[in-house]
A and B are shown apart, each in its own frame.
Chain A
Amino acid sequence: MVRTIASIPLAVHEHLMIQKRRIQNGNSKTRLSLVTGTHGDELEGQYLAYMVGSFIDEHIEQFDGILDIYPALNPMGIDSIMRGIPMFDLDMNRVFPGTKDGTTVEVICSSIIDDIAGSDVCVDVHSSNIFLKEIPQIRVSVPTAETLMPYAKMLNVDFVWVHESATVLESTLAHTLNSRGTKTLVVEMGVGMRITKEYCRQLFDGILNLMKELGMWKGETAAVREPVLSIGREVGFVNSDEAGIFVPCADFGDNVKRGDHIGDVLDPLTSQVVEKVQAVCDGMIFTLREYPVVYGGSLLARILQPKKEGE
């Protein structure tokens, strides 16, 4: 059943609507919310939402519980290829929890939180941005790591990144829901404006496994992979120092040694290599730049270092 959870009149003959679909079967009230489309330029979650929804529809007899699918928290952004909310140029993930009596975006954010709150687990699917490609990973903040780690491990991702919490991140959907007791996991996978079928498939298996662990799914599941955890490891950031065109020579998921040549920044006008890009540490490349044009400071890669000896 499709429900509209927020609807705000726009200036000319249209409403800004946030919709979800509820799939319910059996007696269990266990509820999983699958949320995506906060950033209009991230589309991996669109295909995943379809995969999960259509699969459960087909196998409804093996499903016991409530699955809420929110494919587009920022529908106008997706429609117009904008990361933020068009007209407001606001990143929704800086507006949560919102307020009931606030302005358009605040009201929408508040309605979304009220609707999702109370779910047993919420999975918020992002796909990096148009600049970077990410291996399927879950990001949790240090204070929530203990509670969320068991669920993160169920989701069939390659990597779980436990990061420091920053004040500015208090306005995210995940922070708001977690602080209200709804376990919320943020997935980052793939790249903006594209669908990577294999990653959607991988996370689909993870979601099915999570539902099985929650007692919502009675059917078959595939074996899930054990994710690499960031705990006790450092993440190395490779940023460009020069401006030009970045052409990588390393691959995503590669294990590299500090100093290894991983790509070049080129100048198409002078035909020169302006920067030879090297790995800043040993480890696995889990983020790699997808969009070639770079400035000084543009992120080119992230490398997960091996565990330090003795830890």
Chain B
Amino acid sequence: MKKKTLFSLSSPYREQLEVIGYRFGSGRKALAIVGAMRGNEVQQMYVCSRMVQALKKLESEGKIAEDCEIMVIPCINYYSMNIGKRFWAMDNTDINRMFPGYNLGETTQRIADGVFSQLQGYEYGIQLASFYQRGIFLPHVKLMDTGFTDADIMKDFGLQFGIIRKPRPYDTTTLNYNWQVWETKAFSVYANATDEIDVQAADEAVNAILRFMNTRGIVSAQTPPGYVTLILNESNTEQIQSESAGIFFRQAQIGKTVERGEVLGRIYDPFDGELVSEVRTPVSGTVYFAYNSPLINAKTVCFKIIK
């Protein structure tokens, strides 16, 4: 293992920011794994730290394939993490909306550029991603469909679902999108939580990434058997929104198979406790996202169902 500072930035009032990369094996750039880009992505950083542990072991056992180099960047934006913010502390910009970056531009553009220059040339790229809404996900893998990466490769993770997303204008400045423009086959892995650590989901994500590396010939690792991944378009998922606002109680757990018409959650008036609405699913399928905050506004996504 080689630990290296990939990018640094001085601060007027704090210790210098250092983006650290851990390299394993040597030779051809096979895979890069990126963790937290936002200050609340603790689970994403944790999964990367577990990958560092796993790869250290594999390396000492000589199980990294010849002519393969793997790099792990557990955390880019720990400045925000240390002060409880989500985006760049100074100007509230999101590093994952600054790619490919610009070395003469604004601060977060410079960070994106500094990191991205180190992330280019890898055959595969994995980002531990989070969702902008508060909620929990069934571990799954997502591909931003730019036409570059073959969606079937997602099967190698052995997760239950592989979702293909059609990029929207605001996706064009993310790491995942730009990785593919620069010809790295890029995937986003969702490991359930964001600002909390979910060890079981992290285990699943670590195993999925090891499985992927195994199948792709990057390492030889023992992993528990995975799922036969169902690959589907995001448009084939059903988003269920709250019709009213109040206190939210979730009935359905992540991964549950539900029938059309089933009650997945209930919303109560926050003052008098009356039931104001039931959240029912209009389709049968598997719950892969659930809102998990006690208060809910109207028109909030409370569940996503894979039909």
- Residue positions of A touching B, CB distance < 8 A: 8-13, 16, 83-84, 87-90, 94, 102-104, 107, 129, 131, 167-171, 237, 239, 242-245, 267, 293-299
> Chain B nearest CB: distance from A169 CB in Å?
8
Chain A residues within an 8 Å CB radius of B299: 8, 102-104, 107
Contacts of A294 in B (CB 8 A): 12
**Contact yes or no, B109 A297, CB < 8 A:** yes
Instruction: State whether the Cβ of B173 lies closer than 8 Å to any Cβ in chain A.
Output: yes
Mask of B284-307 contacts with A, CB within 8 angstroms, 1/0: 000000000001111111000000
Contacts of B247 in A (CB 8 A): 11
Excluding A12-B246, A12-B295, A245-B12, 7 further A-B contacts by CB distance (< 8 Å) are A87-B297, A104-B300, A171-B168, A243-B9, A295-B12, A296-B107, A299-B106
**A-B interface, 7 closest residue pairs, ranked by CB to CB distance from nearest:** A297-B107, A11-B295, A9-B245, A9-B298, A170-B169, A297-B110, A243-B12
Chain B residues numbered 80-104 whose CB sits less than 8 Å from any CB in chain A: 86-87, 90-92, 97, 104
Nearest-Cβ distance from residue B195 to partner chain A, whole angstroms: 13
B108 and chain A: residue at smallest CB distance: A297
| A87 CA / B109 CA spacing, docked (Å) | 25
Residues of A within 8 A of B173 (CB): 168
Query: Smallest CB–CB gap between A203 and chain B, Å?
Result: 26
How far apart sit A163 and B11, CA to CA, in the bound complex (Å)?
31
Among A104, A170, A267, contact of B297 (Cβ-Cβ < 8 Å): A104
Contacting A at CB under 8 A, from B129-186, are 132-133, 168-170, 172-173
7 contacts between A and B (CB under 8 A): A11-B296, A12-B246, A12-B271, A83-B92, A237-B105, A295-B9, A296-B107
Q: Which residues from A are CB-within-8-Å of B301?
A: 103
A103 near B241 with CB under 8 A, answer yes
Are B169 and A171 interface neighbours, CB within 8 A?
A: yes
Q: Which of B9, B12, B104, B300 has the most CB of A within 10 A?
A: B12
Q: Are A11 and B12 in contact (CB under 8 A)?
A: no
Q: How far is it, in angstroms, between the C-alpha of A168 and the C-alpha of B11 when the chains are bound?
A: 29
Q: Report the bound CA distance from A296 to B106 in whole Å.
A: 8
Closest chain-B Cβ to A302's Cβ sits at a distance in Å of: 12
Taking a contact as CB atoms closer than 8 A, the residue among B87, B105, B300 that contacts A297 in the complex is: B105
The CA of A107 and the CA of B301, in the complex, are separated in Å by 12
Contact in complex: B11, A10 (CB < 8 Å): no
B42 to chain A, nearest CB (A): 17
User: How far is A297 from B112 in the complex, measured between Cα atoms in Å?
Assistant: 12
Q: B residues near A, CB below 8 A?
A: 9-13, 86-87, 90-92, 97, 104-110, 132-133, 168-170, 172-173, 241, 244-247, 270-271, 295-301
Which of B9, B11, B91 has its CB near the most chain A CB atoms (within 10 A)?
A: B91
Residues of B within 8 A of A12 (CB): 245-246, 270-271, 295
Tell me whether A11 and B172 are in contact in the complex, defined as CB-CB below 8 angstroms, given that A104-B298, A297-B105 are known contacts: no
Select one of B9, B11, B90, B297 contacting A8, CB under 8 A. B297
Q: Which one of A8, A102, A129, A239 lies within 8 Å of B105 (CB-CB)?
A: A239
Cβ–Cβ < 8 Å partners of A243 in chain B? 9-12
Chain B residues with Cβ below 8 Å from A237 are 104-105
**Contact indicator A10/B172 (Cβ below 8 Å):** no
Indicate if the CB atoms of A90 and B132 lie closer than 8 Å: yes
Q: Are A103 and B12 in contact (CB under 8 A)?
A: no
* Contact among B9, B106, B170, B270 for A13, CB-based, below 8 A: B270
**What's the Cα separation between A245 and B105 when bound, in Å?**
18
A94 touches B170 (CB 8 A): yes
Residue of A nearest to B105 (CB): A297
**Contact indicator A13/B105 (Cβ below 8 Å):** no
> How far apart are A81's CB and chain B's nearest CB, in angstroms?
12
Q: How far is the CA of A104 from the CA of B302 in the complex (A)?
A: 12
Q: Chain B residues with Cβ under 8 A from A295's Cβ?
A: 9-12, 90, 107
Residues on the B chain within 8 Å of A170, using CB: 169
Are B270's CB and A293's CB within 8 A? no
Kindly list chain B residues whose C-beta atoms are within 8 Å of the C-beta of A239. 104-106
* Complex Cα gap A169–B104 (Å): 21
The contact of B12 among A10, A244, A299, by CB within 8 Å, is: A244
Residues of B within 8 A of A267 (CB): 12
A178 → chain B closest CB, angstroms: 15
Closest Cβ–Cβ distance, residue B92 to chain A (whole Å): 6
Which residues of the partner chain A approach B169 to less than 8 Å between Cβ atoms? 94, 167-171
Partner of A9, one of B9, B12, B105, B297: B297
Beta-carbon contact of B9 and A296 below 8 Å: yes
Tell me the smallest distance from the CB of A12 to a CB of chain B, in Å.
5
Output the least CB separation between A296 and chain B (Å): 6
Docked CA distance A129–B271 (Å): 38
Nearest Cβ on chain A to B93's Cβ, whole angstroms: 10
User: Judging by beta carbons under 8 Å apart, are A131 and B105 in contact?
Assistant: no
Contact of A131 among B91, B110, B270 (CB under 8 A): B91
